[in-house]
Amino acid sequence: MRLDKLSAVRAASTMIVFIPYGKTLIDLDLPDGKVLAILRSRDFNGEINEFRAVQEALNNPIGCDRLMEASSSKRSICIIVSDYTRATPNRILLPPIIESLKDAGVKSEGIKVLIAYGLHKPAPRELALEFLGKDIVEEVNVVDHDAEREDDLTYIGKTSFGTKLSVNRQIIDSDLIILTGLIEPHFFAGYSGGRKAILPGVAGREAIFNNHGFNMIMHPYARYGFLEGNPIHEDMVEAVKMIRRQMYMVNVVIDKRHRVTRAFAGDVFKAHLTGVRFLDKYIRVKSPAKADIVVTSNGGYPLDRDLYQAVKGMATGELVVKKGGVIVVFAECVDGVGRGHEEFYHLMAEAKTPDEVLERIRREEPIKDQWQAQIMARILREMRVIIVTKNVKHSVIEEMHMIPSSSPEEAIEEARRIVRNDAKIIAIPEGPYIIPYAED
């Protein structure tokens, strides 16, 4: 997918915008005079060498020793990695990390890779091979985290937010925990990466439910781009501090072509915050105003692999669409509604209105996937959502209170019919990989 094509060209009276959809791009024709803005991340300057970026971070850690020194006396290392729903470049991240550990004298049998599934359904082996790489899978022990397998968890304690923290025993049994991941905007934790590898990544079901609880999600700072004052983020930070094991972080930032542009290693909190500040310079994008229609994506593969994840694209559109407006989301959804996310569907489909969804969650929590349904219902209370996909039945999308569309043309026509033909349009091709904002 040529994500460097995320620009627009004019042709006659239309503007062609390229929207990520799976591993391809869709050419979207928008009426030129109606386009208020096309919002994109700023380009990263300088030569991009992905492996060198990771190596330079390992050589120049933030707030602590180099990984080689930090691991020199350790016998058991646990590397926490993102799962298949994330664009984290594990194939680039892991080799230099493992090489540093070997240089420190750590043997392959002393290294474990723990996949941070949170409450996501663990992937089959062929998918793990895809996002980790055959060499890694064959060289070290790879373990799936299962938040619902009580025998695999160790209770740590309770945070000030009331989260009863249990974590995968693999990290407690390790001398050093390495948190890997991708720093990107997150629709309720503010940003991904860093502390999220622990909670929700390798935490137990009960801890995730509390951290993603109704009141936490409803907090006005539980949104894209907020860390300070965000209770979800602050609860995650407390969770990490409660684990009395040495930790080390290696996170990356990627560009619109999903290439590593910069890596950040070292202290979990200092390195993560440095990465967030770096990212902000490129992904916070001002819009001249809010629009009647926002056209966006879920960033293409792998983030758009299901409708569950596509709520992130909706939340991006929510930031710059007018009340009563329309958000059009392109998402391939090769996994349909989502592997293991049946409850998400039922929460939406069994309610007559978005308000009923919110009331049921408030009344009956904890319910698996309630946070995704809650955010989606919050959006649907104020605006309409059109989903462009060929992999979810139209009837299912309608049952979930959205409007299905099989083509870009149909989606734009329907959006303009809902608001009015002279409606202004904003396009956000990268979807949840940027944070758009409008001062009004």
Active site residues: 120, 186
C-alpha–C-alpha distance, residues 275 and 196, integer Å: 14
Please classify residue 175 by burial: count the beta carbons closer than 10 Å to its beta carbon, then call 0-12 exposed, 13-18 middle and 19+ buried: middle
| DSSP code of residue 400 | T
- Rounded CA-CA distance 310/372 in Å is 10
Amino acid at the residue 402:
M
Structure tokens at 10: 């004019």
Beta bridge partners of 285: 436
What residues form DSSP beta bridges with 284? 435
Residue 26 backbone dihedrals phi, psi, to 5 degrees:
-105, 130
> Cα torsion at 151, 189, 377, 305 (round to 10°)?
-70
Which among 65, 140, 135, 54 has a CA at the least distance from the CA of 102? 140
Q: With 0-12 CB in 10 A as exposed, 13-18 as middle and 19+ as buried, what is 242?
A: middle
List all residues 6 or more positions away from 296 whose beta carbon is below 8 Å from its beta carbon: 19, 313, 316, 317, 327, 328, 329, 330, 427, 428, 429, 431
- Which contiguous run of DSSP H or E holds residue 247? strand 246-254
**Whether the Cβ atoms of residue 391 and residue 334 lie closer than 8 Å to each other:** yes
The count of residues in the chain is 440
Contact 297, 270 (CB under 8 A): no
How far is the CA of 435 from the CAs of 72, 185, 210, 317, 380, in angstroms?
40, 7, 26, 10, 20
What is the bridge-based pairing of β-strands 153-158 and 425-428? unpaired
d(C-alpha 50, C-alpha 19), whole Å: 25
